[in-house]
Every structure is written in structure tokens, then in C-alpha cells.
Amino acid sequence: MIRLIKPYVTFEDVEQDFRNMFDSGMFTRGQNVEGFRNELLTYTGAPSVFLATSATTALWLCLKNLGIGAGDEVVVSDFSFPATANVVEDLGARPVFADVSPDTFNMSAETLDAAITAKTRAVIFVDALGNPTGLTRIAEICREKGLPLIEDAACALGSSEGGHRCGSIADMTCFSFHPRKLLTTGEGGAISILDATKSDWFDRKLSHGGQGMRGYALDFVDYGYNFRMSEPQAIMGRVQLRNLDEVIEERNELRATCIKHLEPVGFIAQKRGANVVHNVQSLVFKVPDDIDRDQLIGQLREEDVETTIGTYAISATTYYRDRYDSVQPVSDLLFRTTLTLPCYRGLDAEDLCGRIINAVQTQRKLG
């Protein structure tokens, strides 16, 4: 079976650090948690970084910091995993879906402008499948309009636009370390912020509201949550971060090979800007116009090739369609016509493309 993704970390990579952790007895709030946090800060170029349990809790906490609640609207990129909108909905606000470019799959200046109303309190830009194209322009528009920008960079660690890495462009940026990501800690996430004066607030809220000591006891100066990353997760993250740029280079080489073989038969790759470094979190193509995407996924599974959809049109999911009846047409089309291909170290791209082309030819013969 050609799997969709394989992690870039092995037991041997973390064995000694795990042994040291067990010897120390420190499974949380240890030296690796602080080390990973500092290394992410250096890597992203952000003034402040915090570790979290997931990108979802990270997004939720950023909205909480902005005071988002009932009666507010938050503009959300529509082509994304539903978590991007769920955090808005959970706080009692309304997610207003911005359609996306059919080429980059990202929110554009035009779709953002169409979604802004007098009730808009914030914007969530999604680096679709790790692609940050257009993020800088969206950040400029948000600054002009006085709207805080949250970057849902769940897929975008290591990507950059204009020489600035994701995490150092938007007011707040949220990363994911889910197993589908290039850097995985099993589950986990991180937040970067540009306004360092908010640092104490995030530190408190991520750890039950505690800050400092009162004698021999923690001093809980606020209410908060347990959104902390554990020491084993941080060990995994540190090991992978050291090689992340090399991994990104490999994935771009694999992408180039797939474009070379698949575009002649009608596949169209996700576009990215000339000044963009794309981490190729997901290797996604629009399928040929005469090919049924779901049928192709099924055919490839029979050929032992694991593929999946690109991602979701949030506005077209059952819950949000029924609640707001605001399906975004481009996003919905991409949901139905994009295909994510396997992408990992050691993958034979020539063999992969050959199997895909055979499946396409078979579907065309069957009409």
C-alpha cells in the first residue's frame, strides 16, 4: 500500500531523550517544552510563541483574547477543515465564509472585502494545504480596516511569503502538529503573536490562570485552561524541527515530478505566488474535468494507493449549510474536485504517477 503520509520521526530519533525524560520523572513543563517553544520562536521569527494541545484550542484561545462573542462576525476562509469555523461558532459569534481563489485555494482581497460587514470583529485566513499565497496582502487590508488577523496555519509551519515565515506575518498564528502534518507530536499545536504585551495573558490562560507563586503554592491570578503540551510531545517536535527545511525541499521535488507527469493528462496543481515557499503540507491537484474525483479515489484504493479529498468547503457541510445557507461556489467546487496524493520520504513518484494515470485512463475507457 502506498500510504498517504508517513511521519518524519522514528523511535530511534527520540529514544535517548525519552530515556532521559523517564529518568528525570518530568513528563510536563520540563526542559523540552521550554526548548521547543524557544526553537519555534527562533524558527518562525515571531516575538512570542506558546505551545498548546492543538490548533483548534489555539484558534479558540486567540478569539477569546480578542473578546469575540455573541453578536460578532468573524470572516473565515471557507476552504478548510471545519475546526476553523467551529471555534467561532462555539463562542457564540457568526462565521462569515469568504470564498477562495480557484487557483491558490486561499481567501483573496476581493472575497474578504465581500464578506466584511459592520459586525466584523476579526478575520481568519487559512493557508490552504500549507500555501500562504496572499497572506501578506490580507494582513495589509486588515491593518487598514483595524481588524485583527488570525492565521490558521495548521498546515503551514515552514511556509513563507516575501521572505517572512508563517508565524511572523499575522497578528496571531496557530499551528497544528497532528499526524497528517509535516511535524507531528501526535496531537498538539502552537500560537505565535506579534504583540508581545499579550504574552502574560496567553501564559496564564494556557495553564489554569496560574502565574508565579504564593509561598509554596501556585498563584492563580486568573481563571484559565489546561491547554499545555506535554514533555513527550515536545521531544518529538524538537527532533523534527531540526530537519524541517530539508523535508520541505524534498516535498517540493516530489511535487515537481508529479506536476511533470500529471498535468499532461489534465491534472492542475494548486498555484502559489512567486515569492512563496510552500511546505507542500498536502500535495493537491484538481482532477481532470472529465474525471469523477470520488470514483478515482476508489479506483486508486483498489490499486493500493491511498488518496483523499483536498479539504472541505465548510459552508457546504451539513451543519453550516443548514444553519447559514451560504455555500461558497468556488470552495464547494474545489471540495468536489480536488485530490490529495501521497507525499513522504522514500516515495517512488514515478510509480505513483503511473498508477494514477492508469486509473484515469481506465475511468475514461469506461465512460
Domain ranges for the chain: 11-241, 245-366
**What are 230-274's pLDDT values in tens digits?**
999 999 999 999 999 999 999 999 999 999 999 999 999 999 999
Q: 245-366 belongs to which homologous superfamily?
A: Aspartate Aminotransferase, domain 1 (3.90.1150.10)
Look at residue 366 in the predicted model and tell me its pLDDT: 84
Question: Which residue's C-alpha cell is 471540495?
Answer: 335
Look at residue 154 in the predicted model and tell me its pLDDT: 98
Would you say 289 and 71 are in contact if contact means Cβ atoms under 8 Å apart? no
Would you say 154 and 131 are in contact if contact means Cβ atoms under 8 Å apart? no
Look at residue 90 in the predicted model and tell me its pLDDT: 98
Look at residue 325 in the predicted model and tell me its pLDDT: 98
Look at residue 321 in the predicted model and tell me its pLDDT: 98
Look at residue 244 in the predicted model and tell me its pLDDT: 98
Would you say 53 and 47 are in contact if contact means Cβ atoms under 8 Å apart? no
Handedness of CA 350, 106, 198, 178 (dihedral sign): negative
CA distance 297 to 332: 18
Look at residue 367 in the predicted model and tell me its pLDDT: 72
C-alpha cell at 350: 514515478
C-alpha cell at 111: 472575497
Look at residue 178 in the predicted model and tell me its pLDDT: 97
Nearest one of 14, 300, 343, 352 to 185, comparing CA atoms = 14
Q: What percent of the chain has pLDDT over 90?
A: 96
Residues of the chain short of pLDDT 50, as ranges, are none
C-alpha cell at 144: 487598514
The rounded Cα 353 to chain-centroid distance in angstroms is 26
C-alpha cell at 81: 477543515
CA distance 229 to 75: 29
pTM of the model: 0.97
Would you say 156 and 129 are in contact if contact means Cβ atoms under 8 Å apart? no
**What are 73-129's pLDDT values in tens digits?**
999 999 999 999 999 999 999 999 999 999 999 999 999 999 999 999 999 999 999
CATH fold for domain 11-241: Aspartate Aminotransferase; domain 2 (3.40.640)
Look at residue 14 in the predicted model and tell me its pLDDT: 97
Look at residue 45 in the predicted model and tell me its pLDDT: 97
CA distance 171 to 348: 40
Residue 3 is given by DSSP the state -
